[in-house]
Amino acid sequence: MRQAKRILVTGGAGFLGSFLCERLLQEKHEVICVDNFFTGRRGNVAHLLDDKSFEIIRHDITFPLYVEVDEIYNLACPASPVHYQFDPVQTTKTSVHGAINMLGLAKRVGARILQASTSEVYGDPEIHPQPEGYWGKVNPIGPRSCYDEGKRCAETLFFDYWRQHSLRIKVARIFNTYGPRMQADDGRVVSNFIVQALQNKPITVYGNGEQTRSFCYVDDLIGGLVGLMGTKDEVTGPINLGNPVEFTMLELANLVIELTGSRSKIKFLPLPADDPRQRRPDIGLATRELGWKPKVQLREGLARTVAHFEDRLSLCASQSVAAE
């Protein structure tokens, strides 16, 4: 086990952030969770509030933050297209101003800092699967650009602080990750399909459903992030973290229908602008540098996620009955 540290997790009340806070507390670290609750919820970390090693601060990272920490995981940023396109200017500010503030903080206190970057830096890729050396095919002026270009600029800032100020940086390029604690109205495909299936509502497949994604279960991903933070200083990344098994959205829809025993039918809707056609990580570097490989198969991870949403939806139903 590593020595106990004081660790800042930005976006700590979000989906990935809440699992990361939990994992770091289990490893006996002190955790400061910073979140503006745009897409995150206190409920995601409610079970951690009694832990004296856990602290939560409502704060928007586009503004400066002064805390004393040994490590920073910079996760703050809405990740669902629906949410990051809601206020695109704020999304870019979060990635760019947020990165500058967190890098400035890391510089002042000498902390290690990890950036939650994304497979979106590859855009609609012409190389498949995507290795870290591929520079991507990204539209700089489309509806996804606030997220894609914001994250690309954040990577640039990380590497410039590394070159210019010798900061100890780690950049993880995270591919589609799913699991419990995604919000029912998050808008991403896994939560959408599961909620629709559990309610026997139409499963909304965008386009013809032949586009692909590779889905990583949250526990695997968190292991990769913590592993990357623990590497020696020479390991900066960028490093892909994701599950290399690829599925079409139609395959995903059918698997969700099967696992939920749903009566839902598939409904085809228009494909959103600039939706990448295919995405699969080359995880050779993560395997070599971190000895990391995802363990949870999609079928198993989906079953756990379905169980979470069943609980959540039945709780909501009983609360609305009680309120009537």
Q: Cβ(190)–Cβ(178) under 8 Å?
A: yes
Annotation says 66 is catalytic: no
Instruction: In angstroms, give the least distance from the CB of 132 to ligand NAD.
Output: 14
CA distance 134 to 6: 35
CA distance 251 to 99: 37
Instruction: In angstroms, give the least distance from the CB of 17 to ligand UDP.
Output: 18
Q: Cβ(64)–Cβ(103) under 8 Å?
A: no
- B/e letters for 158-189, b = 16+ CB within 10 Å, e = fewer, are bbebbeeeebbbbbbbbbbbbbbbbbeebbbb
User: Between 22 and 168, whose beta carbon lies closer to ligand UDP?
Assistant: 168
Q: Cβ(83)–Cβ(18) under 8 Å?
A: no
The listed partner (ligand NAD, ligand UDP, none) that binds 104, CB under 5 to 8 Å by sort, is ligand UDP
Using CB under 6 A, which residues numbered 107 to 126 contact ligand NAD? Answer: 116, 118
DSSP string, 48-67: GTT-TTEEEEE--TTS----
The listed partner (ligand UDP, ligand NAD, none) that binds 281, CB under 5 to 8 Å by sort, is none
Q: Is 36 in the site for ligand NAD (CB under 6 A)?
A: yes
- Token digits of residue 244: 């290399």
- How many binding residues for ligand NAD (CB under 6 A)? 28
Q: Is 254 in the site for ligand UDP (CB under 6 A)?
A: no
Taking alpha carbons only, the member of 173, 181, 179 closest to residue 40 is: 181
Helix, strand, coil percent values for the chain (each to nearest 5): 40, 20, 40
Active-site entry in 147, 161, 178, 217: 147
Q: Which residues pair with 177 in a beta bridge?
A: 216
Instruction: In angstroms, give the least distance from the CB of 209 to ligand NAD.
Output: 19
User: Where does this chain touch ligand NAD (CB under 6 A) — which range of 32-40, 133-141, 159-167, 222-230?
Assistant: 32-40
User: Between 10 and 130, whose beta carbon lies closer to ligand NAD?
Assistant: 10
The listed partner (ligand NAD, ligand UDP, none) that binds 105, CB under 5 to 8 Å by sort, is ligand UDP
Instruction: In angstroms, give the least distance from the CB of 73 to ligand NAD.
Output: 9
Which residues are near ligand UDP by CB under 6 A? 64-66, 80-81, 100-101, 104-105, 107-108, 176, 188-189, 192, 204-206, 211, 213, 249, 272, 275
Which residues are near ligand NAD by CB under 6 A? 10-11, 13-17, 35-40, 60-62, 75-79, 94, 98, 116, 118, 174, 176-177
Catalytic residues: 147
